[in-house]
Amino acid sequence: MTFDKIVFGIALVALLAAGAANAAEYEVVQKNKAFSPKELNIKVGDTVKFTNEDNFFHNVFSLSDLKTFDLGSYPKGEFKSVTFDKAGKVEVECAIHPSMLMIINVQ
């Protein structure tokens, strides 16, 4: 391996590490049959963790063009995460409680 290749390799690893370090994790809770916060601004690559804090099951899903997912239904204390890899607006809902809605703005 030449010196140039080694330097390139180190630079690439540093760049990847920096990218991973910049990705943030946010938490959205489901409490009193509502998402909190109701609106969240994040960056591309960030992860959102959805935690159920109610004494009954909640579901988490989105039919948004940007990111379609269904995390299923789960009880109090459990959470599931989604990583958002494209910029845009995502509406998040609960299939059990139709009044529950929140917006995630991915920038």
* SS3 per residue for 36-86: ECCEEEECCCCEEEEEECCCCCEEEEEECCCCEEEEEEECCCCEEEEECCC
Tokens at 31, concatenated? 């409490």
Closer CB to Cu ion, 12 or 95, in the complex: 95
Task: Give the H/E segment covering residue 13.
Answer: helix 3-22
Closest to Cu ion by CB, 40 vs 94, is 94
Q: Pick between residue 45 and residue 103 the one whose CB is nearest to Cu ion.
A: 103
Q: How far is the CB of 40 from Cu ion (least distance, A)?
A: 17
> Which of 94, 102, 104, 106 lies at the binding interface for Cu ion (CB under 5 A)?
94
Q: Read off the tokens for 23.
A: 């990705």
One residue of 40, 48, 58, 82 binding Cu ion per CB under 5 A: 58
Residue 97 interacts with Cu ion (CB under 5 A)?
Answer: yes
List residues binding Cu ion (CB under 5 A): 58, 94, 96-97
